Structure 1
Protein backbone atom coordinates (compact mmCIF):
# COMPACT_ATOMS: atom_id res chain seq x y z
CA UNK A 1 0.00 0.00 0.00
CA UNK A 2 1.48 3.31 -1.04
CA UNK A 3 1.72 6.22 1.29
CA UNK A 4 -0.74 8.14 -0.91
CA UNK A 5 -3.52 5.53 -0.78
CA UNK A 6 -2.85 4.48 2.80
CA UNK A 7 -3.60 7.89 4.28
CA UNK A 8 -7.15 8.67 5.37
CA UNK A 9 -8.58 12.14 5.68
CA UNK A 10 -9.50 13.00 9.28
CA UNK A 11 -13.26 13.34 9.87
CA UNK A 12 -14.58 16.79 10.51
CA UNK A 13 -16.68 15.97 13.58
CA UNK A 14 -17.54 19.62 14.17
CA UNK A 15 -19.25 19.89 10.78
CA UNK A 16 -21.24 16.69 11.39
CA UNK A 17 -22.41 17.92 14.81
CA UNK A 18 -23.38 21.29 13.32
CA UNK A 19 -25.39 19.60 10.54
CA UNK A 20 -27.20 17.40 13.08
CA UNK A 21 -28.04 20.42 15.24
CA UNK A 22 -29.37 22.36 12.23
CA UNK A 23 -31.52 19.36 11.28
CA UNK A 24 -32.95 18.97 14.81
CA UNK A 25 -33.65 22.70 15.14
CA UNK A 26 -35.27 22.76 11.69
CA UNK A 27 -37.52 19.79 12.48
CA UNK A 28 -38.54 21.33 15.81
CA UNK A 29 -39.44 24.60 14.08
CA UNK A 30 -41.47 22.74 11.44
CA UNK A 31 -43.41 20.84 14.11
CA UNK A 32 -44.45 24.14 15.76
CA UNK A 33 -45.34 25.68 12.38
CA UNK A 34 -47.29 22.64 11.15
CA UNK A 35 -50.60 23.42 12.90
CA UNK A 36 -50.96 27.09 11.84
CA UNK A 37 -49.72 26.27 8.33
CA UNK A 38 -52.22 23.41 8.06
CA UNK A 39 -55.03 25.70 9.26
CA UNK A 40 -54.10 28.34 6.65
CA UNK A 41 -53.96 25.66 3.96
CA UNK A 42 -57.41 24.38 4.94
CA UNK A 43 -58.91 27.88 4.98
CA UNK A 44 -57.52 28.69 1.54
CA UNK A 45 -58.42 25.40 -0.14
CA UNK A 46 -61.48 24.27 1.80
CA UNK A 47 -59.66 21.02 2.58
CA UNK A 48 -61.01 18.88 5.43
CA UNK A 49 -64.35 20.70 5.41
CA UNK A 50 -62.90 24.12 6.21
CA UNK A 51 -65.06 26.97 4.90
CA UNK A 52 -63.29 29.66 2.91
CA UNK A 53 -63.04 33.29 3.99
CA UNK A 54 -63.98 35.82 1.32
CA UNK A 55 -64.38 39.59 1.24
CA UNK A 56 -67.12 39.93 -1.37
CA UNK A 57 -70.61 38.60 -1.86
CA UNK A 58 -71.62 36.19 -4.61
CA UNK A 59 -72.84 37.87 -7.80
CA UNK A 60 -74.70 34.75 -8.99
CA UNK A 61 -77.81 33.35 -7.31
CA UNK A 62 -79.34 30.13 -8.56
CA UNK A 63 -83.04 29.27 -8.46
CA UNK A 64 -82.20 26.28 -6.28
CA UNK A 65 -82.03 26.04 -2.50
CA UNK A 66 -79.72 24.14 -0.19
CA UNK A 67 -80.36 23.40 3.47
CA UNK A 68 -77.70 24.52 5.97
CA UNK A 69 -77.95 23.17 9.52
CA UNK A 70 -75.94 24.47 12.49
CA UNK A 71 -74.08 22.64 15.23
CA UNK A 72 -72.59 24.35 18.30
CA UNK A 73 -70.23 22.73 20.83
CA UNK A 74 -68.12 23.79 23.81
CA UNK A 75 -64.78 22.13 24.58
CA UNK A 76 -64.30 20.55 28.03
CA UNK A 77 -63.19 23.14 30.60
CA UNK A 78 -64.98 26.11 29.00
CA UNK A 79 -67.91 27.14 31.22
CA UNK A 80 -70.08 28.57 28.43
CA UNK A 81 -73.43 27.86 26.87
CA UNK A 82 -73.22 28.11 23.08
CA UNK A 83 -75.99 27.53 20.54
CA UNK A 84 -77.32 28.66 17.17
CA UNK A 85 -80.32 31.00 17.30
CA UNK A 86 -81.79 29.10 14.31
CA UNK A 87 -81.28 25.38 13.82
CA UNK A 88 -81.21 25.66 10.02
CA UNK A 89 -81.81 27.89 7.00
CA UNK A 90 -82.55 27.07 3.34
CA UNK A 91 -81.11 29.88 1.20
CA UNK A 92 -80.82 29.90 -2.55
CA UNK A 93 -77.41 28.76 -3.72
CA UNK A 94 -75.30 31.92 -4.08
CA UNK A 95 -77.57 33.99 -1.82
CA UNK A 96 -75.80 35.79 1.03
CA UNK A 97 -77.34 34.96 4.42
CA UNK A 98 -76.77 36.16 7.98
CA UNK A 99 -77.42 33.85 10.93
CA UNK A 100 -76.77 34.33 14.63
CA UNK A 101 -75.14 32.23 17.33
CA UNK A 102 -75.45 32.92 21.06
CA UNK A 103 -72.83 32.40 23.76
CA UNK A 104 -73.21 32.90 27.51
CA UNK A 105 -70.45 32.89 30.11
CA UNK A 106 -71.79 30.84 33.05
CA UNK A 107 -68.71 31.41 35.21
CA UNK A 108 -67.86 34.20 37.67
CA UNK A 109 -64.73 35.15 35.70
CA UNK A 110 -64.23 36.81 32.30
CA UNK A 111 -63.32 34.17 29.73
CA UNK A 112 -61.78 34.49 26.29
CA UNK A 113 -62.76 31.90 23.69
CA UNK A 114 -61.77 30.96 20.15
CA UNK A 115 -64.07 29.02 17.83
CA UNK A 116 -62.92 26.51 15.25
CA UNK A 117 -65.26 25.31 12.53
CA UNK A 118 -65.83 22.91 9.69
CA UNK A 119 -68.44 22.01 7.11
CA UNK A 120 -69.82 18.57 6.36
CA UNK A 121 -69.87 16.81 3.97
CA UNK A 122 -66.15 17.61 3.92
CA UNK A 123 -65.97 17.96 0.14
CA UNK A 124 -68.43 20.88 0.37
CA UNK A 125 -66.07 23.00 2.50
CA UNK A 126 -64.45 24.56 -0.56
CA UNK A 127 -67.84 25.95 -1.66
CA UNK A 128 -68.92 27.38 1.71
CA UNK A 129 -67.82 31.01 1.79
CA UNK A 130 -67.82 33.18 4.93
CA UNK A 131 -67.89 36.95 4.57
CA UNK A 132 -68.14 37.65 8.31
CA UNK A 133 -67.75 35.32 11.30
CA UNK A 134 -67.08 35.52 15.04
CA UNK A 135 -64.57 32.72 14.48
CA UNK A 136 -62.19 35.12 12.71
CA UNK A 137 -61.28 36.70 16.08
CA UNK A 138 -61.29 35.81 19.78
CA UNK A 139 -64.46 36.41 21.81
CA UNK A 140 -64.23 37.70 25.39
CA UNK A 141 -67.27 37.38 27.65
CA UNK A 142 -67.54 38.99 31.11
CA UNK A 143 -69.10 36.81 33.82
CA UNK A 144 -72.80 36.11 33.23
CA UNK A 145 -72.86 37.99 29.92
CA UNK A 146 -74.70 36.73 26.83
CA UNK A 147 -73.58 37.74 23.34
CA UNK A 148 -75.20 37.24 19.93
CA UNK A 149 -72.63 36.74 17.19
CA UNK A 150 -73.29 36.92 13.44
CA UNK A 151 -72.10 34.67 10.63
CA UNK A 152 -72.53 35.93 7.06
CA UNK A 153 -72.06 33.32 4.35
CA UNK A 154 -73.08 32.01 0.93
CA UNK A 155 -72.76 28.70 -0.85
CA UNK A 156 -70.80 29.02 -4.10
CA UNK A 157 -72.95 28.12 -7.15
CA UNK A 158 -70.01 26.04 -8.41
CA UNK A 159 -71.08 23.40 -5.86
CA UNK A 160 -73.72 22.29 -8.38
CA UNK A 161 -71.14 21.66 -11.10
CA UNK A 162 -68.51 19.51 -9.36
CA UNK A 163 -69.12 15.76 -9.66
CA UNK A 164 -68.46 15.10 -5.96
CA UNK A 165 -70.82 17.86 -4.70
CA UNK A 166 -73.56 18.34 -7.29
CA UNK A 167 -76.00 16.00 -5.48
CA UNK A 168 -75.50 17.45 -1.97
CA UNK A 169 -78.77 18.74 -0.54
CA UNK A 170 -77.80 19.48 3.10
CA UNK A 171 -74.69 21.08 4.64
CA UNK A 172 -73.82 21.32 8.32
CA UNK A 173 -71.77 24.21 9.68
CA UNK A 174 -70.24 23.11 12.97
CA UNK A 175 -68.42 25.19 15.61
CA UNK A 176 -66.53 24.28 18.75
CA UNK A 177 -65.46 26.99 21.22
CA UNK A 178 -62.20 26.51 23.15
CA UNK A 179 -60.89 28.60 26.01
CA UNK A 180 -58.11 30.91 24.90
CA UNK A 181 -55.79 33.08 27.00
CA UNK A 182 -57.17 36.55 27.64
CA UNK A 183 -55.43 39.35 25.73
CA UNK A 184 -53.36 41.57 28.05
CA UNK A 185 -55.75 44.55 27.71
CA UNK A 186 -58.81 42.43 28.56
CA UNK A 187 -57.02 40.85 31.50
CA UNK A 188 -56.13 44.29 32.89
CA UNK A 189 -59.75 45.44 32.49
CA UNK A 190 -60.96 42.31 34.29
CA UNK A 191 -58.62 43.02 37.21
CA UNK A 192 -59.97 46.59 37.43
CA UNK A 193 -63.54 45.27 37.57
CA UNK A 194 -62.57 42.87 40.38
CA UNK A 195 -60.88 45.67 42.34
CA UNK A 196 -63.94 47.91 41.93
CA UNK A 197 -66.21 45.07 43.15
CA UNK A 198 -64.09 44.60 46.28
CA UNK A 199 -64.26 48.32 47.08
CA UNK A 200 -68.01 48.37 46.53
Structure 2
Protein backbone atom coordinates (compact mmCIF):
# COMPACT_ATOMS: atom_id res chain seq x y z
CA UNK A 1 0.00 0.00 0.00
CA UNK A 2 1.28 3.43 -0.92
CA UNK A 3 1.73 6.00 1.74
CA UNK A 4 0.39 9.52 1.63
CA UNK A 5 2.25 12.16 -0.33
CA UNK A 6 4.19 14.68 1.68
CA UNK A 7 3.08 18.34 1.42
CA UNK A 8 6.17 19.09 -0.69
CA UNK A 9 5.39 16.22 -3.08
CA UNK A 10 1.79 17.44 -3.41
CA UNK A 11 2.98 20.97 -4.18
CA UNK A 12 5.52 19.67 -6.72
CA UNK A 13 2.87 17.51 -8.40
CA UNK A 14 0.41 20.38 -8.54
CA UNK A 15 3.08 22.75 -9.94
CA UNK A 16 4.07 20.18 -12.59
CA UNK A 17 0.42 19.70 -13.56
CA UNK A 18 -0.07 23.47 -13.82
CA UNK A 19 3.09 23.86 -15.94
CA UNK A 20 1.89 21.09 -18.27
CA UNK A 21 -1.56 22.70 -18.57
CA UNK A 22 -0.04 26.15 -19.29
CA UNK A 23 2.24 24.64 -21.97
CA UNK A 24 -0.78 22.99 -23.61
CA UNK A 25 -2.71 26.27 -23.54
CA UNK A 26 0.29 28.06 -25.02
CA UNK A 27 0.33 25.73 -28.01
CA UNK A 28 -3.46 25.91 -28.41
CA UNK A 29 -3.68 29.71 -28.09
CA UNK A 30 -2.71 30.63 -31.66
CA UNK A 31 -5.09 28.22 -33.47
CA UNK A 32 -7.90 28.98 -31.02
CA UNK A 33 -7.42 32.74 -31.43
CA UNK A 34 -7.35 32.32 -35.23
CA UNK A 35 -10.58 30.31 -35.10
CA UNK A 36 -12.19 32.92 -32.83
CA UNK A 37 -11.20 35.74 -35.22
CA UNK A 38 -12.48 33.89 -38.30
CA UNK A 39 -15.83 33.10 -36.65
CA UNK A 40 -16.44 36.53 -35.17
CA UNK A 41 -14.56 38.82 -37.57
CA UNK A 42 -12.65 40.13 -34.54
CA UNK A 43 -9.83 42.51 -35.42
CA UNK A 44 -11.03 42.91 -38.99
CA UNK A 45 -10.53 39.25 -39.88
CA UNK A 46 -12.42 38.46 -43.05
CA UNK A 47 -14.45 35.38 -43.81
CA UNK A 48 -13.39 32.82 -46.40
CA UNK A 49 -16.18 31.65 -48.67
CA UNK A 50 -16.86 27.93 -48.63
CA UNK A 51 -19.36 26.99 -51.37
CA UNK A 52 -19.96 23.59 -49.76
CA UNK A 53 -20.90 25.13 -46.40
CA UNK A 54 -22.94 27.96 -47.93
CA UNK A 55 -26.65 27.15 -47.96
CA UNK A 56 -27.26 29.41 -50.96
CA UNK A 57 -25.73 32.26 -52.88
CA UNK A 58 -26.12 35.53 -50.97
CA UNK A 59 -29.00 37.77 -51.90
CA UNK A 60 -27.92 40.89 -53.80
CA UNK A 61 -29.30 44.05 -52.24
CA UNK A 62 -29.82 47.46 -53.80
CA UNK A 63 -27.63 48.94 -51.03
CA UNK A 64 -24.03 49.72 -51.93
CA UNK A 65 -20.83 50.06 -49.93
CA UNK A 66 -17.61 51.75 -50.92
CA UNK A 67 -14.57 49.47 -50.64
CA UNK A 68 -11.13 51.05 -50.40
CA UNK A 69 -8.07 48.96 -51.19
CA UNK A 70 -4.83 49.55 -49.30
CA UNK A 71 -1.47 47.95 -50.18
CA UNK A 72 1.70 47.94 -48.08
CA UNK A 73 5.08 46.21 -48.29
CA UNK A 74 7.40 45.25 -45.45
CA UNK A 75 10.70 47.18 -45.59
CA UNK A 76 12.45 43.79 -45.94
CA UNK A 77 10.65 42.95 -49.20
CA UNK A 78 11.99 44.57 -52.39
CA UNK A 79 8.57 44.76 -54.04
CA UNK A 80 6.31 47.45 -55.34
CA UNK A 81 2.69 46.57 -54.48
CA UNK A 82 -0.48 48.55 -55.16
CA UNK A 83 -4.16 48.20 -56.08
CA UNK A 84 -5.05 48.66 -59.74
CA UNK A 85 -8.01 50.79 -58.60
CA UNK A 86 -7.86 52.18 -55.05
CA UNK A 87 -11.65 52.30 -54.56
CA UNK A 88 -14.79 50.53 -55.78
CA UNK A 89 -18.49 50.77 -55.01
CA UNK A 90 -20.12 47.36 -54.68
CA UNK A 91 -23.67 46.13 -54.26
CA UNK A 92 -24.12 44.33 -50.95
CA UNK A 93 -24.22 40.58 -51.68
CA UNK A 94 -22.79 40.85 -55.21
CA UNK A 95 -19.46 39.26 -56.10
CA UNK A 96 -16.77 41.69 -57.12
CA UNK A 97 -13.10 41.55 -58.04
CA UNK A 98 -10.17 43.78 -57.22
CA UNK A 99 -6.75 43.49 -58.82
CA UNK A 100 -3.52 44.14 -56.96
CA UNK A 101 -0.20 44.46 -58.76
CA UNK A 102 3.12 43.29 -57.34
CA UNK A 103 6.54 43.81 -58.87
CA UNK A 104 9.86 42.36 -57.73
CA UNK A 105 12.43 45.18 -57.90
CA UNK A 106 15.37 42.97 -56.93
CA UNK A 107 17.77 40.84 -58.97
CA UNK A 108 16.78 37.68 -57.07
CA UNK A 109 13.58 35.58 -56.97
CA UNK A 110 11.58 36.57 -53.89
CA UNK A 111 8.69 34.81 -52.15
CA UNK A 112 6.16 36.90 -50.25
CA UNK A 113 3.08 36.26 -48.14
CA UNK A 114 0.28 38.76 -47.64
CA UNK A 115 -1.42 39.43 -44.34
CA UNK A 116 -4.71 41.30 -44.40
CA UNK A 117 -7.39 42.96 -42.35
CA UNK A 118 -10.61 44.88 -42.79
CA UNK A 119 -11.67 48.12 -41.14
CA UNK A 120 -13.92 49.05 -39.54
CA UNK A 121 -13.47 45.89 -37.50
CA UNK A 122 -17.22 45.30 -37.12
CA UNK A 123 -17.42 44.83 -40.91
CA UNK A 124 -14.74 42.10 -40.98
CA UNK A 125 -17.13 39.24 -40.35
CA UNK A 126 -19.25 40.34 -43.33
CA UNK A 127 -16.42 40.80 -45.82
CA UNK A 128 -16.04 37.41 -47.49
CA UNK A 129 -13.17 36.46 -49.77
CA UNK A 130 -13.94 33.80 -52.38
CA UNK A 131 -10.47 33.71 -53.93
CA UNK A 132 -7.37 35.60 -52.86
CA UNK A 133 -3.66 35.74 -53.55
CA UNK A 134 -3.28 35.99 -49.79
CA UNK A 135 -4.23 32.32 -49.33
CA UNK A 136 -0.86 31.19 -50.78
CA UNK A 137 2.75 32.35 -51.04
CA UNK A 138 3.63 34.39 -54.12
CA UNK A 139 6.96 33.96 -55.90
CA UNK A 140 8.18 36.70 -58.22
CA UNK A 141 11.22 36.38 -60.41
CA UNK A 142 13.62 39.35 -60.76
CA UNK A 143 11.77 42.24 -62.41
CA UNK A 144 8.56 40.21 -62.72
CA UNK A 145 5.24 42.00 -62.39
CA UNK A 146 2.12 40.04 -61.48
CA UNK A 147 -1.58 40.95 -61.44
CA UNK A 148 -3.24 39.30 -58.45
CA UNK A 149 -7.02 39.13 -58.12
CA UNK A 150 -9.16 38.98 -55.02
CA UNK A 151 -12.79 37.90 -55.46
CA UNK A 152 -15.08 38.98 -52.65
CA UNK A 153 -18.56 40.02 -51.56
CA UNK A 154 -20.05 41.89 -48.62
CA UNK A 155 -22.52 39.59 -46.89
CA UNK A 156 -26.07 41.03 -46.79
CA UNK A 157 -26.23 40.06 -43.09
CA UNK A 158 -24.27 43.27 -42.48
CA UNK A 159 -27.58 45.14 -42.80
CA UNK A 160 -29.06 43.12 -39.90
CA UNK A 161 -26.22 43.96 -37.50
CA UNK A 162 -26.92 47.11 -35.48
CA UNK A 163 -23.17 47.70 -35.05
CA UNK A 164 -22.36 47.40 -38.77
CA UNK A 165 -25.47 48.27 -40.78
CA UNK A 166 -24.52 51.95 -41.09
CA UNK A 167 -21.02 51.22 -42.44
CA UNK A 168 -20.57 53.24 -45.63
CA UNK A 169 -16.94 52.35 -46.41
CA UNK A 170 -14.85 49.24 -45.84
CA UNK A 171 -11.07 49.20 -46.20
CA UNK A 172 -9.39 45.97 -47.27
CA UNK A 173 -5.72 46.28 -46.38
CA UNK A 174 -2.85 43.98 -47.36
CA UNK A 175 0.77 43.94 -46.27
CA UNK A 176 3.25 41.73 -48.10
CA UNK A 177 6.06 40.22 -46.02
CA UNK A 178 9.05 38.13 -47.15
CA UNK A 179 8.61 34.43 -46.56
CA UNK A 180 10.82 31.42 -46.95
CA UNK A 181 10.26 29.63 -50.23
CA UNK A 182 8.35 26.39 -50.02
CA UNK A 183 10.77 23.64 -49.07
CA UNK A 184 11.87 22.08 -52.34
CA UNK A 185 14.33 19.29 -51.71
CA UNK A 186 15.21 20.53 -48.24
CA UNK A 187 13.70 17.49 -46.56
CA UNK A 188 16.17 15.36 -44.67
CA UNK A 189 16.77 11.96 -46.24
TM-score (norm 2): 0.84
Report what 1:166 is aligned to. 165
Cα RMSD over matched residues?
2.4
Report what 1:89 is aligned to. 88
Match of 1:24 among 8, 19, 25: 19
Matches within 5 A, 1:48-197: 48-56=43-51, 58-185=57-184
Larger proportion of helix? 1
Distance 1:25 1:66, change over 3 A: same
Report what 2:30 is aligned to. 35
Q: Contact conserved, 1:58 with 1:156, CA < 8 A, in 2?
A: no
Gapped runs of 5+ residues in structure 2?
none
Match of 2:39 among 38, 41, 44: 44
State how many pairs are aligned. 181
Deviation at 1:29, TM superposition (A): 4.1
Larger proportion of strand? 2
Q: Contact conserved, 1:134 with 1:149, CA < 8 A, in 2?
A: yes
Partner Cα separation in structure 2 for residue 122 and residue 129 of structure 1: 13
Larger radius of gyration: 1
Stretches of 4+ moved more than 4 A in 1?
A: 12-16
Partner Cα separation in structure 1 for residue 165 and residue 121 of structure 2: 13
Deviation at 1:139, TM superposition (A): 1.3
Distance 1:25 1:133, change over 3 A: same
Q: Contact conserved, 1:58 with 1:96, CA < 8 A, in 2?
A: no
Deviation at 1:106, TM superposition (A): 1.5
Report what 1:194 is aligned to. none
Partner Cα separation in structure 2 for residue 17 and residue 170 of structure 1: 56
20-29 vs 33-42, which moves further: 20-29
Deviation at 1:111, TM superposition (A): 1.8
Distance 1:140 1:17, change over 3 A: farther
